[in-house]
Structure 1
Amino acid sequence: MNRRTTLLGAVALTTALGLTGCSSDSAPELKVTGAFMPQPVSDMAAGFLVVENTGGADRLTSVTSALSDHVTIHETKNQAMRMVTSFEVPAGGELDLERGGNHIMFTDLKKRPRPGDTVTVKLHFEKAGAISVDVPVKESTYNPKK
Structure 2
Amino acid sequence: MTLKNAFICATMLLATQFTFSGIASAHEYKGGNLNIDHPWSKEVPPTSQVAAAFFTIDNHGKEADTLLSASSPIAGKTELHAHVNENGMMKMREVQEITIPAEGQQNLKPGGLHIMFFDLKKTPALGESFPLTLNFQHAGTVEVEVKVEKATYQSDAMKMDHSGH
Normalising by the smaller structure, the TM-score range is 0.7 to 0.9
- The residue number in structure 1 matching 2:80 is 73
Pairs within 5 Å for 1:17-56: 29-41=33-45, 42-55=48-61, 56=63
2:156 is the counterpart of 1:142: no
Determine if contact 2:71/2:78 at 8 Å carries over to the other structure: yes
Which runs of 5 or more structure 1 residues have no equivalent in the other structure?
A: 1-27
Percent identity over the alignment is 34
Judging changes above 3 Å, is the alpha-carbon distance between structure 1 residues 117 and 63 closer, same or farther for their aligned structure 2 residues? Answer: same
Aligned residue for 2:152, secondary structure, equals coil
Counterpart Cα distance in 2 of 1:69 and 1:112: 12
Larger radius of gyration: 1
Shift of 1:103: 0.6
Runs of 4+ residues over 6 Å off in structure 1: none
Shift of 1:35: 1.5
Pairs within 5 Å for 1:1-146: 29-41=33-45, 42-55=48-61, 56-78=63-85, 79-139=90-150, 141-143=151-153
**Residues 19-65 of structure 1: CA deviation (Å, up to 9, x unaligned):** xxxxxxxxx60000121101122110011001110102110000011
* Aligned residues between the structures: 117
Q: Which amino acid aligns with 1:113?
A: P
TM-score, normalised via structure 1 length? 0.75
Shift of 1:95: 1.3
TM-score, normalised via structure 2 length? 0.67
Counterpart Cα distance in 2 of 1:61 and 1:128: 11
Shift of 1:144: 8.1
Counterpart Cα distance in 2 of 1:100 and 1:109: 21
Which runs of 5 or more structure 2 residues have no equivalent in the other structure?
A: 1-31, 156-165
